[in-house]
Amino acid sequence: MKAARAATGHLGRRTQALRRGPEPAVRRRGREETADESSGRQSGFGLGSGQGIGAKTAEVLAEAGAVVVVTDINEGTGKAVAERINAAGHRALFLTLDVTQEADWKAAMERVCSELGGLDVLVNNAGVELIKPIAALTLEDWHWITGINLDGVFLGTKYGIWAMTEGSTSRPKGGSIVNLSSIAGIIGSGFQSAYNMTKGGVRLSANPPRTECAALQNGIRVNSVHPGVIQTPMGEHLLKEFTALGFGANVDETRQRVRQLHPIGRLGEAIDVAKAILYLASDDSSFVTGRNWSWTGDSRRCEGEVCHL
C-alpha cells in the first residue's frame, strides 16, 4: 500500500478523482473492477516499453498508481514487462504496436479509451539508433530511422491528443505527453548523423503541440527529455558500434571514454530517465510544458556543439 500512497503525491489529479469515487478502484485490493470504477484512474501508455528506458518507465508509472499500457513491436519482451508489473501487484496490459503503423495507433487508442475510459499520459519512447558514416547511409536506412523516430512521435502525439480529449469519456480532459529525444538531439556527433537529425526533430516536437494545446486550452502538456548515454540494450549497442569504429581497443575502454563525457562520473541508468518521466507525467509538473529536459550527467558542458569521443 506504500506505493498507492506515493501515487497520491505523484499522480495528483487522477488520484483525487479516485478518492471521490464510492470505493477506491485499486485492483490489488482484491477484486475485478468495472470499467466505470477504473475510469477515474490515471492511465499511462508507453511505447517501446519491452526493454530499456520504456520498460523501467512502465514499472515506475505502475508503482505510482497508473494503469499502464505496455506496447512494443516485440511481443515477447513487452508481454514479459506487463506480466512483471501485474505480478508485483500493479496493473498493466500489453498491446502489440508498431509505432510506424497508423492503423496500430488507431486500434490501440480506441481500445484504451473503451477499456480504461481515456488516456492521461503518453510516453513516445520507441526509438532506434544507427551508427554509420554519413557517406555510407542509404536512403533505406534513412527511411527506416525516420519512420520509427519521427513518424512514431508524430502519430503518437496525434492519437495521444485524440485520446486525451475527444477520446475521453468520463475523465477530466487533458494529460501529459513525454517525447524521448536525446543529447544527440541537442548536439551533433560523428557517425550518428541520421540519429542526430531525427532526435533534433523530436526536440522540436514538444513546441508546436504545446503552443496549440495551450491555445485550445485542452489541458495537455508536451515535453521532451534528452538523456545522455544510458545503460540499456541501445546504450550497450552504441558502445559496441563505436568500439568497432576504433574509438576504444575494446568495449570497456570505449565505455570509459564515453563515461568521461559525463562530468557527473557515471553513465545513466534507465531509472534515472524513468524518474524524470514520472515527474513530467504527474501533477507535480502541472505548470511545465514545451520544455526540453536534459538528463545527461552534465555531458553538454564538455561538448559545446559537437561531441568528440
Ligand X SMILES: NC(=O)c1ccc[n+]([C@@H]2O[C@H](COP(=O)([O-])OP(=O)(O)OC[C@H]3O[C@@H](n4cnc5c(N)ncnc54)[C@H](O)[C@@H]3O)[C@@H](O)[C@H]2O)c1
Q: Return the number of the residue (99 or 161) whose C-beta is nearest ligand X.
A: 99
If binding means CB under 6 A, how many residues of this protein chain bind ligand X? 29
Residue among 22, 85, 23, 14 at smallest CA distance from 49: 85
Q: Quick check: 100 binds ligand X (CB under 6 A)?
A: yes
10 Å CB burial of residue 235 (0-12, 13-18, 19+) is buried
At closest approach, how far in Å is the CB of 180 from ligand X?
Answer: 4
The correct pick among 117, 127, 156, 175 for binding ligand X (CB under 6 A) is 127
Helix axis angle, 12-20 to 2-10, nearest 10°: 120
Backbone angles phi and psi of 36, in degrees to 5: -65, -45
The correct pick among 61, 126, 178, 281 for binding ligand X (CB under 6 A) is 126
Q: Is 36 helix (H, G, I), strand (E, B) or coil?
A: helix
Check: CB of residue 172 under 8 Å from CB of residue 277: no
195 catalytic, yes or no? yes
Q: Return the number of the residue (285 or 294) whose C-beta is nearest ligand X.
A: 294
Q: DSSP string spanning 90-146?
A: -EEEEEE--TT-HHHHHHHHHHHHHHHSS-SEEEE---------GGG--HHHHHHHH
Q: Which residue of the set 94, 105, 191, 195 is catalytic? A: 195
Q: Is 174 helix (H, G, I), strand (E, B) or coil?
A: coil
Q: Return the number of the residue (213 or 239) whose C-beta is nearest ligand X.
A: 239
Stretch near ligand X under the rule CB under 6 A, chosen from 5-13, 92-100, 106-114, 170-178: 92-100
Site for ligand X in 244-303 (CB under 6 A): none
Q: Return the number of the residue (25 or 122) whose C-beta is nearest ligand X.
A: 122
As a whole number of angstroms, the distance between CA 232 and CA 67 comes to 24
Q: Quick check: 122 binds ligand X (CB under 6 A)?
A: no
The correct pick among 7, 229, 258, 278 for binding ligand X (CB under 6 A) is 229
The correct pick among 43, 51, 193, 299 for binding ligand X (CB under 6 A) is 51
Q: Quick check: 74 binds ligand X (CB under 6 A)?
A: yes
Residues that bind ligand X (CB under 6 A): 47-48, 50-54, 72-74, 77, 97-100, 125-128, 148, 180, 182, 227, 229-230, 232-235
